[in-house]
């Protein structure tokens, strides 16, 4: 069973994820249909970032996964050499 702290952290992560998803959805799907002179456009980055930011985040995620797998494989090789 999760402790109260775990539940609060989980709720916070879900809330942040929901906020980011809503912001991105409005930015990418709804904003192109709103007049470019409308005041809501000042709360959003230019549309070029709608592709660049997720691409950069995806590349960083792949980098971290690759580094993690490399570290685990190197650690396992060291343990296997000591066992022999």
Question: Residue 10: its pLDDT value, please?
Answer: 95
End-to-end Cα spacing for the chain: 41
Tell me how far the alpha carbon of residue 3 is from its chain's centroid. 25
Q: How many other C-beta atoms can be found within 10 angstroms of the C-beta atom of residue 24?
A: 14
Same domain for 14 and 46, yes or no, is no
Question: Residue 24: its pLDDT value, please?
Answer: 94
- The rounded distance, in Å, linking the Cα atoms of 47 and 35 is 14
Task: Point out the residues of the chain with pLDDT beneath 70.
Answer: none
Same domain for 23 and 60, yes or no, is no
- Give the chain's domain count: 2
Task: Using the CB atoms, write b or e for 42-66: b if 16+ within 10 Å.
Answer: eebeeeeebeeeeeeeeeeeeeeee
Considering the entire predicted model, what is its pTM? 0.70
Question: Residue 81: its pLDDT value, please?
Answer: 77
Q: What domain range includes position 61? A: 38-83
């Amino acid at each position: 069973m999760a402790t109260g702290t775990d539940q609060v952290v989980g709720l916070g992560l879900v809330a942040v994820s929901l906020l980011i998803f809503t912001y991105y959805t409005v930015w990418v799907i709804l904003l192109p249909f709103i007049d470019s002179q409308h005041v809501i456009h000042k709360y959003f980055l230019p549309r070029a970032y709608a592709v660049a930011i997720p691409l950069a985040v995806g590349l960083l995620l792949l980098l971290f996964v690759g580094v993690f797998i490399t570290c685990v494989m190197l650690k396992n090789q060291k343990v296997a050499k000591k066992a022999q």
